[in-house]
Structure 1
Amino acid sequence: MKVSDLLRRYEQGEIDFTGIDLQGADLRGVILIGVNLSKANLTGANLSRAFLMGANFEGACLHRTNLSFVKMNEAHLAKADLTKANLSGAFLVRSKLPKAQMSGAILVGANLRVAALVNANLCSADLNGINLRGADLTGANLKWSNLRGARLQGAKLTGNLLTGVNLRGAYLNGVNLAQAELEGVNLSEAKLNGVNLTKANLTAANFSFAQMRAVWLNGANLTGANLEGVCLKRANLNFAQLSNADLRDADLTDAQLKESQLHGTCLTGTILPTSFPDYLQRISGMGSVSSAPLSHHMSVS
Structure 2
Amino acid sequence: MDADELLKRYCAGERNFTQISLHLVNLSEVCLAGINLNRANLANATLSQTNLRGANLIEANLTAAALWRTDFSGANLILANLKAANLIRATLSQVDLHKGSLVKADLRLADLHGADLSGANLAGADLRYTNLSGANLAGANLSGANLTGANLSNADLSHTSLAKAILYKTDLSNVDFTEVDLTEVDLHHCLFNGVTLTERSLIEVV
CA offsets, 1:103-154, max 9 Å, x none? 0000000000001111111110000001111111111110110000011111
Distance 1:74 1:59 in 2: 16
State the partner residue of 2:111: 126
User: 1:29 touches 1:49 (CA, 8 Å); kept in 2?
Assistant: no
CA offsets, 1:249-293, max 9 Å, x none? xxxxxxxxxxxxxxxxxxxxxxxxxxxxxxxxxxxxxxxxxxxxx
State the partner residue of 1:208: 193
* Aligned residue pair count: 204
CA offsets, 1:62-112, max 9 Å, x none? 010000110110111011111000000000101111111100000000000
State the partner residue of 2:60: 75
SS in structure 2 of the partner of residue 218 of structure 1: helix
1:39 aligns with 2:24: yes
State the partner residue of 2:141: 156
State the partner residue of 1:183: 168
User: 1:197 touches 1:215 (CA, 8 Å); kept in 2?
Assistant: no
Q: After TM superposition, list the pairs within 5 Å mapping 1:48-67 onto structure 2.
A: 48-67=33-52
User: 1:198 touches 1:218 (CA, 8 Å); kept in 2?
Assistant: no
User: 2:144 touches 2:166 (CA, 8 Å); kept in 1?
Assistant: no
State the partner residue of 1:143: 128
State the shift of 1:21 in Å: 4.5
State the shift of 1:219 in Å: 6.3
State the shift of 1:53 in Å: 0.6
Which of the two has higher C-alpha Rg? 1
User: 2:177 touches 2:201 (CA, 8 Å); kept in 1?
Assistant: no
Deviation >6 Å, runs of 4+: 22-25
- Unaligned 5+ segments in structure 2 are none
TM-score (norm 1): 0.64
State the shift of 1:24 in Å: 7.9
Code of the aligned partner of 1:70: A
